[in-house]
A and B are shown apart, each in its own frame.
Chain A
Amino acid sequence: MGQATQQPATHHANGHSHAHPTISPATYLLVLVALVIGTVVTVWTASMDLGAFNTPVALAIAIGKAALIILYFMHIRYSTWLTRTVVIGSFFFLIVLFGLTFADYFTREKTHEIPSLYSPDPILKQQ
């Protein structure tokens, strides 16, 4: 995986030059096969009860598939560091969205264990 040939640089009017790699059909096919396998694994794990690992496993497979699409179909593997930084930055903020939202979901049950907040009569309960 990852075969790419560099075509001659294209010179633009502004003097900069960019290399436009051509990714071989074999690479695309391999990525496609990997994505199909990933989808099968997603469906397979969805039918299993992994307990607390249900969500992490589903997320891990999804991240793997997304990474393949971004790296190869979106050509990020062959892009400049500026473009890569943008993608990494976007992922960082996606992790912020997921991470802080999960901070709520994973601790919500614990909140209900605080008697003074959620008992019918908190003052009496404390006494």
Chain B
Amino acid sequence: MIEENVSLPRIHYLNSHYGWKSWLFTTDHKRIGLLYMVSITLMFFLGGFFALLIRLELLTPQADMFTADTYNKFFTLHGVILIFFFLVPSIPATLGNFLIPLMIGAKDVAFPRLNLLSWYIFVIGSLFTLWVVAVGGIDTGWTFYTPYSTTFANTHVIAATLGVFFTGFSSILTGLNFIVTIHKMRAPGLTWFRLPLFIWSLYATSIIQVLATPVLGITMVLIAAERFAKVGIFDPALGGDPVLFQHMFWFYSHPAVYIMILPSLGVVSELISAFTWKRVFGYKFVAVSSLMIAIFSFIVWGHHMYVSSMSIYAGMLFSILSYLVAVPSAVKVFNWTATLYKGSVSYDTPMLYALGFIGLFTIGGLTGLFLASMGLDRHLHDTYFVIAHFHLIMVGGAVMGYFGGLHYWWPKMFGRMYPEWWGRLSALIVFVGFNLSFFPQFIIGYLGMPRRYHVYAPEFQVLNVMSTAGSSILGVGYLLPLVYFIWSLRYGKVASNPWRAKGLEWETTSPPPPENFLEQPIVTEEAYNYPTRPAQPGKQTGKLTGGLNPPASPTATATGTGREAEVV
């Protein structure tokens, strides 16, 4: 550990007020971020539990554990819980809430009470969904496709859609709050092109949240109206059109993928810069590429609908447009790689997650091009190839980014370090478990095993066993951080800025004071303005360091930021 004689600040946001009321009625963005973190962690492990049940059933080709109905409910709950109640709010609502004001030098978000309200709305939505779990579940799949959801399903469709509807409002309010905060509350001197890339990515995410989520809300209300009142929006017998549902649903749900992945891309930019000790190569391109991804995300939804009886001409249009998203995504990956080049790389836990992210995101993105191609999609549609592809993006991408960010900013949030060795171990276990879970699924999907089936042809069993084994390993990899993070809250070594990273959030104490900064910070330099890292005797850059970061130079003080050492 490089920091010595670091002590926790006397007053910080965690001890400034006591009692459950100080948490439930707080308007402090940092506390609200933690409230979100606890809520989504519960949902993460609940959704993960259903994933393990699904994989257990798929160990054998026969239906050994569950009936078809039960299996349908499990994969639906797995999807609904993890998408709407974990992946969508994961980074924006936890890390975003905690970090945006700190990273832009503000005291809080623009609308603190609206921020708390958005958490309460999220909790109400979650409770609706948990109620659905308790009373028997829902079996429509997370996509709620009509006419099954409106006409035939005998499960708790309306309650589940109401839960999603509520959560959508929470997402809109968070996005709105972030947009206004980033526009109006930046510290003096913090121009748009001095903003950290994490802020750029959250800004782009917020645009999607505000513009796309209302369409999901309307679609959920229309499903309820169709079930209740038979209004004839989606039912062909009443003059409606089920394909219209898919248009409306995917107008939200494709951009929603970018609500999940864009914040992760921002986290990875921060990590790559901090652990190579370099400015991100092509900063402006990476910043603008976030906005480009956000805009392109709105015009590609039809690639989910090639076999839905949508017009083949519209399919051609969507196919061409879908390829466009690859351009800004590739800009990011290439620029991260260029940043790594000749960087002073240290392989601490957050960096391991970031490197894992780059690999998985690249594979996930490239397999997306397969599915954007109409001809190939006819073969691969609704097979395990699709499952593997979107899990690479949404779990290999979004969750890796979330975990990387959580490890990176953990000392900022709580002033204590997690055990680094265990962190690295968990990152490696997650990477191995993830690949073992999902790589076989590309093969069985390509060979023709359809998704959503709980019985399958015996020739697929070996690959399914591999996948189930991988998911067990992945589960262990996800449980480890839960254990050592909780442990670190009491026993972790006190740390202020163990990475000696740059950025306004590291300028203040760890944990930060209730109003973030004792004095209004003034920004005078661009983001990631790292100096040349001090040379260390006997150590080559680019190799596994075996420790956290290189030791601070002799002029570094132990007050926390280490920035004194950088003025050389």
A104-B314 in contact (CB<8A): yes
CA distance A114 to B298 in the complex (A): 29
Closest B residue to A114 by CB, please name it: B312
Taken residue by residue from 308 to 343, chain B's Cβ proximity to chain A (1 for < 8 Å, 0 otherwise) reads as: 011111100110000000000000000000000000
Q: A101-B247, A104-B247 are in contact. Are A93 and B314 (CB under 8 A)?
A: no
**B233 to chain A: closest CB distance in Å?**
13
Q: Which residues of A contact B215 (CB under 8 A)?
A: 97
CA distance A114 to B310 in the complex (A): 14
Q: Which residues of A contact B211 (CB under 8 A)?
A: 89-90, 93
**A114 to chain B: closest CB distance in Å?**
7
Q: Which residues of A contact B248 (CB under 8 A)?
A: 97
Q: A100 contacts the other chain (Cβ, under 8 Å)?
A: yes
A96-B311 in contact (CB<8A): no
Interface residues of B: mostly helix, strand, loop or mixed?
A: helix
CA distance A110 to B314 in the complex (A): 11
CA distance A93 to B213 in the complex (A): 12
Q: B539 contacts the other chain (Cβ, under 8 Å)?
A: no
Q: Which of B183, B207, B298, B311 contacts A108 (CB 8 A)?
A: B311
The residues in B between 372 and 412 inclusive whose CB is less than 8 angstroms from any CB of A are none
Q: A82-B183, A97-B215, A100-B318 are in contact. Are A107 and B311 (CB under 8 A)?
A: yes
Q: A117 contacts the other chain (Cβ, under 8 Å)?
A: yes
Q: Which residues of B contact A104 (CB under 8 A)?
A: 243, 247, 302, 310-311, 314
Q: Which of A93, A96, A97, A108 contacts B310 (CB 8 A)?
A: A108
**B310 to chain A: closest CB distance in Å?**
5
A96-B243 in contact (CB<8A): no
Q: A103 contacts the other chain (Cβ, under 8 Å)?
A: yes
Q: B299 contacts the other chain (Cβ, under 8 Å)?
A: yes
A100-B310 in contact (CB<8A): no
A107-B313 in contact (CB<8A): yes
**B301 to chain A: closest CB distance in Å?**
8
CA distance A103 to B317 in the complex (A): 9
Taken residue by residue from 114 to 127, chain A's Cβ proximity to chain B (1 for < 8 Å, 0 otherwise) reads as: 10010000000000
CA distance A101 to B249 in the complex (A): 12
Q: A111 contacts the other chain (Cβ, under 8 Å)?
A: yes
Q: Which of A90, A96, A103, A117 contacts B314 (CB 8 A)?
A: A103
Q: Which of B247, B311, B318 contacts A110 (CB 8 A)?
A: B311
Which 6 A-B pairs have CB atoms at the shortest separation, nearest pair first? A104-B314, A107-B313, A107-B311, A108-B311, A103-B314, A111-B312
Residue pairs across A and B with Cβ atoms less than 8 A apart, 11 shown, are A97-B247, A97-B248, A97-B251, A100-B301, A100-B314, A100-B317, A101-B247, A104-B310, A107-B312, A107-B314, A117-B312
Q: A96-B298, A106-B311 are in contact. List 14 more A-B contacts (CB 8 A).
A: A93-B211, A97-B247, A100-B299, A100-B317, A101-B244, A103-B311, A103-B313, A104-B310, A104-B314, A107-B312, A108-B310, A108-B311, A110-B311, A111-B312
